[in-house]
Amino acid sequence: MNIKKIILPLLVIAVGIGVGKFLIATGPEAEKQPSEARPVIVEAQPLKLRDYQVTVNASGIVQAQTQTNLVAEVSGKVLEISADFQEGGYFDKNATLLKLDASNYTNAITIAEGDLAQKQLTLQEQQAQAKLAQRDWNLLDGNASRPQSDLAARRPHIAAAQAAINAADAKLQQEKLNLNRTRITAPYRGRVQEKRVDVGQYVTPGTVLGVIYATDAVEVHLPLSLAQYALLNIPEAFRNKAADAALMPKVSFRPTAGNLQDTWQGQVVRSSAALDEKSRQMTVIARIDNPYEAREGVSAPLRIGQYVSAAIQGKLFNNVYVLPSSAVRQGKEILLLQDGKVVVQPIELVWSTESEMVVRSEADLNDKRVITTPLPQATDGQAVQVAGEKKPQAKPADAPQEPKP
């Protein structure tokens, strides 16, 4: 009885398992639905063939093109200083900047004039004595045809008197020159950088009275790497051939502090004669004309020693494509978008900045769409979808095929 109770349930279970396996084995198979890969969402833009002007960025310090130490040429006390002769003051050419005490030099002129008059009188006396000597010679000798000796004719005396006059006249001119030098005038139109003396100070020859610079132009020295320099197409100057100034690159300057909207236009005028031994850089010198004239777009004049950034006009690349840097992969290829699929396109990188890549291609890519979203692992044929656009409809398998041309 107990054995039957155990065997019967086991038998029922075994029969149920067998029937289930039979039904599974003989039942219809469920149709498998293929899983469709979701396309990657990307950004894209059309390609346009164009010309691209390279801009080489650099920076430098504003320097005076013409700078002068005003030096006293004579001694004297400073009696007067022009109101323009102050640090930052502007002045015109030939303007009087300082005056020194001139009393010693006016007195010296008076003395020199008296000495010159005395020397002229001496010459007249020697000439009169020479005439008397000639008359006496003629009366005593009776032979006027025989010449007198130089000494008898007082020729050395006359020559010495004439030389004394010349020396006295030179002395007078020197004293007049010294008098003029008590008035220190501006050699050009400019601005005062430093004033080193004041009224009442006694100065001697060689004393630096101040530092001035011309305001017609300033220069900016711009260090460049050799790669940057090669992009500028600067005409070289030779000993027997000057560089063509018309071909020198244009430069746009901006301050690095203050009103960053201020701009000045300049031009490269020359390059340095040697590379920097430590940095191996080449320096180009750009000039800005009339940087101290008030004009629209400038809120303050340039200052000597001011740090400025420069955008130098470089080479012109023709027939290139300009892309965001995210569109170029490994510097040698881009991803085109065609019928919702990726097409890998080789390119040649010719120039790059932090945000742009300038490329060339042997294929005509004009008006084709380039993917600007970085896809480092994308391959040919990968499905993608442009953000905001509908997914392209796939053609059904039984759709009639278009006749081949």
Nearest by Cα to 229 from 255, 268, 256, 265: 268
Q: Could you tell me if 200 and 80 are in contact, meaning their C-beta atoms sit under 8 angstroms apart?
A: no
Kindly report, residue by residue over 60-111, the tens digit of the pLDDT.
Answer: 999 999 999 999 999 999 999 999 999 999 999 999 999 999 999 999 999 9
Cα distance between residue 369 and residue 337, in whole Å: 6
Backbone dihedral angles phi then psi of residue 352, each to the nearest 5 degrees: -150, 150
How much is the pLDDT for 405? 40
Q: Mean of the pLDDT values across residues 173-181?
A: 95
Tell me the torsion sign for CA atoms 120, 122, 125, 127: negative
What residue type is assigned to position 323 of the chain?
L
Domains 42-51+318-386 and 56-64+216-317 share a fold: no
Determine the CATH number of domain 56-64+216-317: 2.40.30.170
Kindly report, residue by residue over 218-265, the tens digit of the pLDDT.
Answer: 999 999 999 899 989 888 888 888 888 888 999 999 998 877 888 999
The first and second tokens of residue 109, run together, are 């002129």
Q: Which residues are paired to 210 by β-bridges?
A: 70, 195
DSSP 238: B
The first and second tokens of residue 333, run together, are 């290829």
Burial of 220 (0-12, 13-18, 19+ CB in 10 A): buried
Burial of 326 (0-12, 13-18, 19+ CB in 10 A): middle
Residue entry with tokens 């700078």: 67
Give the number of other CB atoms < 10 A from CB of residue 341. Answer: 14
* Class level of CATH domain 76-100+183-215: mainly beta
Query: For the CA atoms of 63, 216, 98, 83, what is the dihedral angle to 10 degrees?
Result: -100
DSSP 127: H
Percent of the chain's residues with pLDDT above 90: 58
Burial of 257 (0-12, 13-18, 19+ CB in 10 A): exposed
Domain limits, the chain: 42-51+318-386, 56-64+216-317, 76-100+183-215, 102-181
Mean pLDDT of the chain: 86
Kindly report, residue by residue over 186-225, the tens digit of the pLDDT.
Answer: 999 999 999 999 999 999 999 999 999 999 999 999 999 9
Residue entry with tokens 């801009």: 55
Q: Model confidence at 33, in pLDDT bands (50, 70, 90)? A: low
32 contacts: CB under 8 Å, gap ≥ 6:
none
Kindly report, residue by residue over 86-98, the tens digit of the pLDDT.
Answer: 999 999 999 999 9
CA angle 310, 316, 54 (to 5 degrees): 30
How much is the pLDDT for 404? 44
Cα distance between residue 28 and residue 286, in whole Å: 87
Give the number of other CB atoms < 10 A from CB of residue 165. Answer: 19
Kindly report, residue by residue over 280-327, the tens digit of the pLDDT.
Answer: 999 999 999 999 998 887 888 899 999 999 999 999 999 999 999 999
Q: How many residues does the chain have?
A: 405
Q: Does 2.40.420.20 match the CATH number of domain 42-51+318-386? A: yes
Q: Could you tell me if 191 and 215 are in contact, meaning their C-beta atoms sit under 8 angstroms apart?
A: yes
Strand runs (DSSP E) across 235-278, as ranges? 250-255, 264-271
Cα distance between residue 220 and residue 62, in whole Å: 5
Kindly report, residue by residue over 129-171, the tens digit of the pLDDT.
Answer: 878 877 766 666 655 556 666 666 678 888 888 899 999 999 9
202 contacts: CB under 8 Å, gap ≥ 6:
75, 76, 77, 78
Nearest by Cα to 321 from 366, 374, 372, 362: 366
Q: Mean of the pLDDT values across residues 388-401?
A: 59
